[in-house]
């Protein structure tokens, strides 16, 4: 394998084609890693990660997920970033897991390595993540979108969990998150038939928050990210944690947790600033502490 100097690696990143549909005005983020499967950029307080396996319709291989996890953790630690958008291309957010990588594995291969176990790491990120889904989000692609905090979709997007057609089942949360999002009966139908469903169907089912024209999707997702990033980052993280707890606990436990987190916000300077600004009829100036 060839080795490159940092300056040559920088040039190589600059020469890489810009992600389709990415807005003008972004600065490329140069991580310590030279990514092969993703592109990471930033505009003001919002980071944009683009899945970058176009020939494979962004099929999710272990290498892509490792790069994605690495960059997400770096962005989570970056105080200049207030929200993260993950997208693919207009043709495919991610058309599924990489079947060629999976097909030869035996049960013991899967069990000993806990195959897909580390894919769930995205759910440990504290900052809000928006999935901007254009084209296909099938199998692992649908599961990746559901691991994000908010899903927005282009009007031509297609979702589905077609693993049953391959003689297997979803393995990265599909049976769990889809059921929580759309209810048992509809999730059972979609998972047992492998049928795909449209962006409008996904919105009507509660899986998707907003649907936009495909060519406007990334810009709209970034606008949402910018709106979120203007708020207090610690309080946004607390709110995200409280919403996620609703999935894991009873209503009584969740309400108690929410109340304790509400109390905790009163230890922040941003709560004092936010309420003072409201009383003084002026915009709040949050300092994220």
Residues classed as catalytic: 97, 140, 143, 163
- Can you tell me the distance from the alpha carbon of 54 to that of 44, in angstroms, rounded to the nearest whole number? 27
Cα 243 from Cα 246, distance rounded (Å): 5
Q: Measured between alpha carbons, how far is 171 from 169 in angstroms, rounded to an integer?
A: 6
């Amino acid at each position: 394998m060839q080795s490159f100097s940092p300056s040559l690696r920088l040039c190589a990143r600059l020469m890489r084609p810009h992600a389709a549909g990415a807005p003008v005005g972004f600065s490329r983020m140069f991580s310590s890693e030279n990514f092969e499967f993703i592109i990471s950029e930033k505009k003001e307080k919002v980071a944009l990660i683009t899945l970058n396996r176009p020939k494979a319709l962004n099929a999710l291989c272990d290498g892509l997920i490792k790069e994605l996890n690495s960059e997400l953790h770096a962005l989570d630690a970056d105080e200049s970033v207030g929200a993260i958008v993950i997208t693919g291309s207009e043709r495919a957010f991610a058309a599924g897991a990489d079947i060629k990588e999976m097909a030869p594995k035996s049960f013991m291969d899967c069990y000993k390595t806990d195959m897909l176990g580390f894919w769930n790491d995205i759910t440990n990120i504290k900052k809000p993540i928006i999935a901007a889904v254009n084209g296909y989000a099938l199998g692992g692609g649908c599961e990746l979108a559901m691991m994000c905090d908010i899903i927005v979709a282009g009007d031509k997007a297609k979702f589905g969990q077609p693993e049953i057609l391959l003689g297997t089942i979803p393995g990265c949360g599909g049976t769990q998150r889809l059921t929580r999002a759309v209810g048992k009966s509809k999730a059972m139908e979609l998972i047992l038939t492998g049928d795909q469903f449209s962006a409008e169907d996904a919105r009507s089912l509660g899986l998707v928050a907003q649907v936009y024209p495909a060519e406007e999707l990334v810009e709209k997702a970034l606008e949402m990210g910018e709106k979120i990033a203007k708020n207090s980052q610690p309080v946004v993280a607390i709110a995200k944690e409280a919403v996620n707890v609703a999935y894991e606990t009873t209503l009584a436990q969740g309400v108690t947790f929410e109340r304790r987190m509400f109390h905790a916000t009163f230890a922040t300077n941003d709560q004092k600033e936010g309420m003072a600004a409201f009383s003084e009829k002026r915009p709040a100036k949050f300092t994220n502490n």
